[in-house]
Amino acid sequence: MASEFVARSAFRSNRSSPLRFILSHIYRHPLVAVLMIIGAFSNAALASAVPYFIGQSFNIVIASGQLVDVVPMVLGVLGSQLLRGLLQLVRNFSSEIFAQRIERNVRDELYASLLGKSMAYHDMQSVGEIMARVTNDVRELNLMMNPGMNLLIGSGFFLLMPLVTAPAIAPPLILTPLIFLILYFTAQVFFIRRLNPIATQVRASFGRMNSRLAETLDGLQVVKGAARERYEIEQFTASVDEVRDFFIAQGNIEARYLPFLLLALATVGGFVHSVYLYEIGMMNAGNIVAFMGLIFLFQFPVYSSLRSLSQVSLGFASARRILNIITAETNLDQNESGYQAPLRGAITFKGVNFGYTDGRQSIYDVSFEVRPGQTVAIVGQTGSGKSTLTKLLNRIYDVDSGQVLVDGVDVREWNLASLRSQISVIEQDVFLFSRSVADNIRFAKPESPQEVVESAAHKAQAHEFIGAMSEGYETVVGQRGVTLSGGQRQRIAIARAFLTDPPILVLDDSTSAIDSATEDRIQQAIWAASRGRTTLLITHRLSQIRWADHIVVMRQGRVAAQGKHEDLLRSSEAYRRIFARYESADDLTPAQREG
């Protein structure tokens, strides 16, 4: 399967179906699984010993009338239950280890799969829905194993014990357990068929609710700015009500759990049958007590299976949702055997066409060349496709047709990691992780020493404001860098690019949130950094446009003109209009330009 990133792991799950996916993870831990099964079997076997000892005690008391004769039976009960308790400890400990390991392994596999998906895939997914699957759905797999499968396996042995041991008391006594089991399993089949679709809806509705919540919190500033809190509360309440309704529907099915009635009928039927056999002399009073004790063993599987089957159904639905992500095809691949070499910096766009979605093309027949070490400015109106071109360069997206060449090699032929590690992109909307400032700067090279980090910050004109922070370079910025101003975030991103020292540097309007005085200082650093490397500038700053060796003018996804600044002013009406607009706005503040 194509993937941008492949986790280094000796294990690969079976992804052909949810059941095989679950089983493949179970097979990874055979010893723990065997201990759990042994514990479940011993629990049922030793539980069935209690009715035997009690029945024998009745016979002893009736025959001799001496309670002292019952002492061996009492010791038998105590000894068997002490052993049962010890084995139960092993069983429960094993089942919890089993469940936690499976949750860990599935979560690792799912996370690696998400990192490997292309941006085209992630663009179509809700972050809240993905988070629901990574957290809650994976957790449901844990609960499916323990207590779900743990109880289910244990109850299975409790169902078998009366069927095996009752004939030892009197052969005709097999009738009641046999009829009960036939009806019990028939009822379970119908129960599971009704429960599975509802369990799937429960998990899906929870994902939709989580998606709504994540989207609202992410856009909370917009919600408050538009005074739409009440509307969002109503929408979220509707999502919560949907989850509640599916849980109630699940509860309605569980409330009509037929095995409860079957247990009552088996108890009455077994008692009547054993009394009849007593009347015709086939068994004694102690045998009746022992047999009814065996029938009472059915209580555990009947009561526990309601919970365990519901948990297994939810886990199976979660496995299906997880597998839908893992098996989703992506249109990019890591291409580990692809071309690898140090970049010289030559870039060629040759007849490139691209659309983010089918039927909505964004780039039309774009062609231009960038020589190694050259600085090229890409200008155009908003929505003309400028930023899209940079995303095709490092294969965030792949072209629909045409070619993007780096050093004469189609980017699709490059080893993806090698290509991306040598191209640094600084975007207008800078993303910072909720980590220290130093860790954000050294993100691409985590082994970089502190002095290198500080040197990069100096070049990006960021050292001064970082030093003024409470903990300097160890100050932890908020999620997405919300504790910093736009200009501070951009300077940290520029420092991150300086630290990687890439052969190709892409500046996507990366100084838009910086005041003119600071930009002048950063401009000097960028000029110095661009020497000997290829630089693509997407900018509205006239100083940067004039500085470029070559200018590409984009209009409605097409190359309207290209050349040097002076030539374009003479020959391109589109460039003159853009240049006039930029010139009138060049002295405005970033906030005024946005307005």
Asked if the structure places residue 26 within a domain, the reply is yes
Measured from the Cβ of residue 553, the count of other Cβ atoms closer than 10 Å reads 25
Chain-centroid distance of CA 59 in Å reads 61
Residue 414 DSSP code: B
Q: Give dist(CA 244, CA 238) in Å, integer.
A: 10
Which among 358, 378, 366, 368 is positioned nearest to 402, based on CA atoms? Answer: 366
Phi first, then psi: what are they for 560, rounded to 5°? -80, -30
Residue 79 inside a domain? The answer is yes
Token pair for 10 = 């000796």
- Distance between CA atoms of 529 and 512, rounded to whole angstroms? 19
H/E/C letters for each residue in 479-510?
HHHCCCCHHHHHHHHHHHHHHHCCCEEEEECC
| 48 touches 165 (CB < 8 A) | yes
Helix H or strand E segment including 93: helix 71-116
Structure token digits, residue 275: 């009394």
Instruction: Kindly state whether residues 34 and 106 are assigned to the same domain.
Output: yes
Query: Could you tell me the two tokens for 51?
Result: 């009715």
Residue 340 lies in a domain: no
172 prior amide bond cis, ω within 30: no
Contacts of 417 (CB under 8 A, 6+ apart): 334
Q: Is 3 within a domain?
A: no
Quote the CA–CA distance of 204 and 213 in Å, as a whole number.
Answer: 14
* Buried b or exposed e, range 145-170, using 16+ CB within 10 angstroms: bbbbbbbbbbbebbbbbbbebbeebb
The whole-number pLDDT of residue 553 equals 92
CATH number at residue 37: 1.20.1560.10
Residues in the chain: 595
Query: In 3D, which of 239, 343, 383, 289 has the Cα closest to residue 50?
Result: 289
At residue 522, the pLDDT reads: 65
For 405, the 3-state DSSP assignment is strand
Same domain, 418 and 435: no
Cis peptide upstream of residue 147 (ω within 30 degrees of 0): yes
What is the 8-class DSSP label of residue 436?
A: B
Q: Residues 120, 397: contact at Cβ < 8 Å?
A: yes
Beta carbons within 10 angstroms of residue 240's beta carbon: 15
Spell out the residues 6+ positions from residue 266 whose beta carbon is closer than 8 angstroms to its own: 176, 177, 179, 180, 295, 298
Domain residue limits at 156: 18-326
- Together in a domain, 215 and 297: yes
Do 360 and 310 fall within a single domain?
no
User: Which residue is listed with tokens 């065997």?
Assistant: 34
The answer to whether 182 and 215 have CB atoms below 8 angstroms apart is no
Q: Say whether both 410 and 449 belong to one domain.
A: no
Q: Sort strands 375-380 and 550-555 into parallel, antiparallel or unpaired.
A: parallel
Please say which residue of 447, 466, 489 terminates a domain.
Answer: 489
The confidence score (pLDDT) of residue 261 equals 94
Distance of alpha carbon 213 from alpha carbon 130, whole angstroms: 12
Nearest residue to 331 (alpha-carbon basis) of 120, 520, 185, 161: 120
User: Shortest CA distance to 556 belongs to which of 406, 380, 407?
Assistant: 380
496 is a domain residue: no
- What is the C-alpha end-to-end distance of the chain, expressed in Å? 46
259-279 vs 299-326: helix axis angle to the nearest 10?
150
The two tokens of residue 525 are 């650093």
Same domain, 397 and 454: no
Closest by Cα among 454, 585, 579, 580 to 516: 585
Q: What is the pLDDT of residue 83?
A: 94
337 part of a folded domain: no
Q: What is the token pair recorded at 338? A: 């692809």
Q: How many other C-beta atoms are found inside a 10 Å radius of the C-beta of residue 591?
A: 9
Which pLDDT does position 3 carry in this prediction?
67
Residue 497 lies in a domain: no
Question: What integer pLDDT is reported at residue 524 of this predicted model?
Answer: 66
pLDDT of residue 582: 61
Based on the domain organization, do 560 and 457 belong to the same domain?
no
Place of tokens 């970082």: 466
Q: Are residues 193 and 99 in the same domain?
A: yes
Asked if 78 and 211 sit in the same domain, the reply is yes
What order of strands is seen across the sheet that includes strand 558-563? 423-426, 504-508, 534-538, 375-380, 550-555, 558-563
Please state, as a whole number, how many other Cβ atoms lie within 10 Å of the Cβ of residue 107. Answer: 18
Report the pLDDT value the prediction gives residue 510, as an integer from 0 to 100: 65
> Residue 13 has which token pair?
């799950």
Angle at alpha carbon of residue 449, lines to 446 and 450, rounded to 5°: 110
Residue 5: its pLDDT value, please?
65
Looking at the structure of the chain, the number of domains it has is: 3
Strand (E) or helix (H) holding 208 = helix 175-218
The three-state DSSP-derived secondary structure of 263-305 is HHHHHHHHHHHHHHHHHCCCCCHHHHHHHHHHHHCCHHHHHHH
Per-position DSSP letters for 27-65, written without gaps between them: TT-HHHHHHHHHHHHHHHHHHHHHHHHHHHHHHHHHHH-
Q: How far apart are CA 489 and CA 481, in angstroms?
A: 7
State the residue for tokens 């590409």.
552
Domain for residue 8, yes or no? no
For residue 48, give Cα distances in angstroms to 8, 175, 478, 547.
48, 18, 60, 89
Q: Tell me the residue type at 67.
A: L
Residuewise pLDDT in 10s, the chain (595 residues): 566 666 555 567 888 899 999 999 988 888 888 888 899 999 999 999 999 999 989 988 888 877 788 899 999 999 999 999 999 998 888 899 989 999 999 988 888 888 888 777 887 787 778 888 888 889 999 999 998 899 989 999 999 999 999 999 999 999 999 999 999 999 999 998 998 889 889 888 988 888 888 888 877 777 877 788 888 889 889 999 999 999 999 999 988 899 999 999 999 999 999 999 999 989 999 999 999 999 999 999 999 988 888 888 889 989 998 999 888 877 777 788 889 999 999 999 999 999 987 778 899 999 999 999 999 999 988 888 898 999 999 898 889 999 999 999 999 999 988 998 899 888 877 788 888 999 999 988 889 999 999 998 988 888 989 999 989 999 988 766 667 877 788 888 888 888 888 899 998 876 665 666 666 666 766 676 667 789 998 887 777 788 789 999 999 999 999 999 888 888 888 888 877 766 655 544 444 443 3
pLDDT in tens, 476-502: 887 666 678 777 888 888 888 888 888
381 with 282, same domain: the answer is no
Tell me, yes or no, whether 401 and 519 share the same domain: yes
3-state SS, 154-171, equals HHHHHHHHHHHHHHHHCH
Distance CA 214, CA 206 (A): 12
By DSSP bridging, strand 401-406 and strand 347-357 are antiparallel
Same domain? 101 vs 239: yes
Strand partners, 380: 554
pLDDT at 592: 40
| 203: Cα separation from own chain's centroid | 14
Please state the pTM of the whole predicted model. 0.73
What secondary structure letter does DSSP report for 339?
B
